Structure 1
């Protein structure tokens, strides 16, 4: 039971439960918007009583595009609202918190060095230690690393 209690009390599980509850409540709002505004508009375009009955007649074939359009509109509305009501404000809040903590925007930071940059620096420091002088300024050579240094293979 201890493991189950730890699992349930973990933050991710609580956040997921809240998201499901909010999502279910939000679904009724989106459904009302789709059913009350968009379905009648699409039904009028396709000359149908309901969007689900809207068809596109191509010769003897009837394509039931109404249900697909309704689902697509529903998805796009949910995605738009989630982005503009949740994602965008959260990104702004996270950026403001980062600025308060670090004193600058995250974009202002330098790119971290690549693995190749670090290996070249290590090679040069090792060469400097061996010669006792300044490190050689030479470009990195493909395949050259600690095992294949300037003094040849092992």
Structure 2
């Protein structure tokens, strides 16, 4: 028979799952990512769209092609035709690229450099410790050889 104490309860298993570091890190990343998305969307709508608007329409969402028949819109709704709203897709792609670039250059790249420096420091410390260990071993060998040489030169043990 299997005792109830050998298997963790459902609540204990759930609690252990939540308390893992990677789950908490993931939750923090999702919250930060959601907040960051608002910033990126504001940059796209407030800076990128007006720059594009200097060339064409004021909003990327206004760029579209009509697949079937003449496209007519009333109050932002399609009345006739089949429009392809490629401007909306372009806006989403720009938002993604800007988000990815900021995350890479402000978070991933600095963290990679920091971890590389830390690994180099750790390797250097380990190399120094190995050097100290080797030098201590060499000193002990020299002492041993000196003692053996003294015994062999006619000294007797007491």
With the shorter chain as reference, the TM-score category is 0.5 to 0.7
Q: CA deviation at 1:65?
A: 2.2
Q: CA deviation at 1:40?
A: 1.8
After TM superposition, which residue ranges in structure 1, 4 or more long, deviate above 6 angstroms?
Answer: none
Q: Deviations over 1:72-126 (max 9, x none)?
A: 100100010010011001101110110111129xxxxxxxxxxxxxxxxxxxxxx
2:117 and 2:59 map into 1 onto residues whose CA distance is: 47
The reply to whether residue 14 of structure 1 matches residue 14 of structure 2 is no
Tell whether the 8 Å contact from 1:43 to 1:54 is kept in structure 2 after alignment: no
Larger strand proportion of the pair: 2
Aligned position for 1:34: 44
Q: In the alignment, which of 91, 101, 104 is matched to residue 83 of structure 1? A: 104
Q: CA deviation at 1:67?
A: 0.5
TM-score by length of 1: 0.60
1:30 and 1:102 map into 2 onto residues whose CA distance is: 39
Deviating more after overlay: 35-44 vs 79-88: 35-44
Gaps in structure 2 of 5+ consecutive residues: 1-10, 71-82, 126-158
Q: Which has the larger radius of gyration?
A: 2
Aligned position for 2:61: 52
Name the SS of the counterpart of 2:48 in structure 1: helix
Gaps in structure 1 of 5+ consecutive residues: 105-154
